Structure 1
Amino acid sequence: MEARVLKPVLAVYTLLFILFLYGPFFVLAILSFQQGPEGGPQFPIIEWSTYWYRHIFGLVPPSRIAPLPLGEAMFRSLTLAFMTMIISTVLGVMSAQAFRRKFKGSGFVFYLIVLGMMVPGVLTGLGVSLLANNILGIERHWWSTAFVTHVVYTFPFAFLVMLAILNRFDASVEEAAWSLGVPPARTFRKVTFPLIFPGVLSAMLFAFTLSYDEFSRTLFASGRDQTLPLAIYGTFSVEIHPNVFAFGVLTTVFSFALLAVYAILMGLSVRRAKKVAMQEDIV
C-alpha cells in the first residue's frame, strides 16, 4: 500500500522539479522569438520572429537597441574558463593523488582546500580586490586576479571529484607495473591516468562551467575588463530586451553541446577501459 502511494508522489515531485529546473529556459525560448526591432518582453507573442537571434550576430539594420557586447567579453570568458579548467584539473589530480596516503596534517590541508568553495564569492572577490589594490599594489585584470579567484573556487570541485575516483582505484595495477620495474611517472602516464580519465573529464567539466558562469568573484577581481556575465549584466541592468533572451537560449544550447561532447568522450573512455580490462583477463 505504501509503495502504491509513494510512487505517484515521487513521480509528481520529479515532474515539478523538472518544471522548476527547466521552466525558465522554456520561458526565455518563447520570449526570444518576439517581433523586432521594437518588441519587448510581452506575452502572448503577437508575431513570431527570429529577429533577435539575427540581432545578436549583427545581421539586421541598426536600431535604437545596441547589440550585446559579446566579442571581447566572450573571448575573455572562454579563455579564462579554459585556463581555470587546466590549472584546477591539474591541481585536483595532484592533490587527490597525494591524499591516497595518510600524511601529517592531511585533515587540515583537506579543509583548507575545500574552504575555497565554501567562502561566499562576494567575500572572496572583495578580499582579492583589496589585497591587490591596497597591499600588493597591482592592477586587477581578468587574466591575473580574476584567474586566481576562479582557480581557488573551482579547484576544490576538481579535487573532490578526483578524490572520489582515486578512492575506488585498484592500486594493485600500479603495484604490478612497479614490480616489473616501470618508473612511477611512466606508470601514472600509461596505467593510472587512462583508468582515471573519466574522472579527469568530470573535473574539467566542473571547472570550465563554474568559471564560465562565475559572476560575483569576477565582479570585484576583474578590474575594468568585463567577462561575458558582467557584460550581459551591464546590458540588462538598464533595460531588458529580447536579445538577452535569445542569447540565453544560445548559451543553454552551448552548455548542452558541452555535455554532449563530455558524454561522447566519457563513452569512449569507458569503452577503452573495458577493452584494457578484457585484455588483462585474457593474459
Structure 2
Amino acid sequence: MNTHPRHSATHTPAAQAPPTDRPQQPGRPRPAIRAAALTKTYGMGDAQVRPLNSLSLDIAAGRFTAIMGPSGSGKSTLLNMLAGLDTPDSGEVTIGDTQLSGLGDAALTRVRRDRIGFVFQAFNLVPAMTAEENILLPSQLAGRKVDRAWFARIVELLGLRDRLRHRPHELSGGQQQRVAVARALVTRPDLIVADEPTGNLDSASGDEVLGLLRASVDEFGQTVVMVTHDAQAAARADRVVLLADGRLAGELHSPTPEAVAQALMHITTSAHRAAETRAGGAR
C-alpha cells in the first residue's frame, strides 16, 4: 500500500484565520464537486440557526479533503449538501457537470446510488447479509453487473478475502468499517463521503480505516471528502478545509497533526469570542 508523504502545512486564511502566505498550486486538479454560495437555515425567530452562510468550495478530483470546524460550524450540513442528502435554501452543488438542484427525486436517488459512496460513523451494514452481500448491495440495487476483477482487487486491498462469508456480528468494528469502505468503492463512484468514519473505532482500527481511505486515493485515484473532529485523522488528508459559523475560515495543504490542532484551536477560540460578542450585543 502506498503511503502519502507529509509536508509542511500551509494555512490559507479567511477572516477568522491567522494570516499566512499560501503558495501557488501549479496545475491544480479539476474539481470533482463544486459548492457555490450555499445557504441553509433551520428554525424561525430566536430559534433560527444558519449552519451554512453563502459558502463556496471546490473539491479537487483524486484528492483526500478533510472538513473540520467547531461544533455548529456547518461541517455535517455541508457534507450532506455535497452528497445530495439535503438541499440548500439557496446556492448550487454540482457533481461533475450535473447540477443537483435541477434533479427530481428519482434522478437524485440515482446520483447518490451510482456516483457517491458513503462511509458513516455507524457502519450501516445489513445484519442478515454476509460481508460480500453487503459490499455488493449497491450494485444489486442499481441492477448493475459486478466487475469481479475490481471486486477482487478491493477485497484484497482491504484484507477481507477471508471474511466475505461472515455476517456483521461476526466481525470486529474495524472489519465492519472495512466492509463499509469496500461497499463505497465497489461501484467506482465519483465521490466518497465519510462522516466521522473512525468515531466508533479504537485508535488502531481507526488508523487502519484512515489508511484505507488514503489508499483509495493513492491506489485508485478516488476522491474522498471526510468530516472529522480528530486532528490526527485530518492530517491523513491532502487538504483540510476549516469552517466557522457556516463560512470558510481557512485551509491547510499537506497538513500535520500539530498544524491542524493549532488552526482548529485558533478558529474555535475566535468563534467563541464572536458568539460572546453577539450575545452581549443582544442583551
TM-score (norm 1): 0.25
Higher Cα Rg, which structure:
1
TM-score (norm 2): 0.25
Structure with greater proportional strand content: 2
Structure with greater proportional helix content: 1
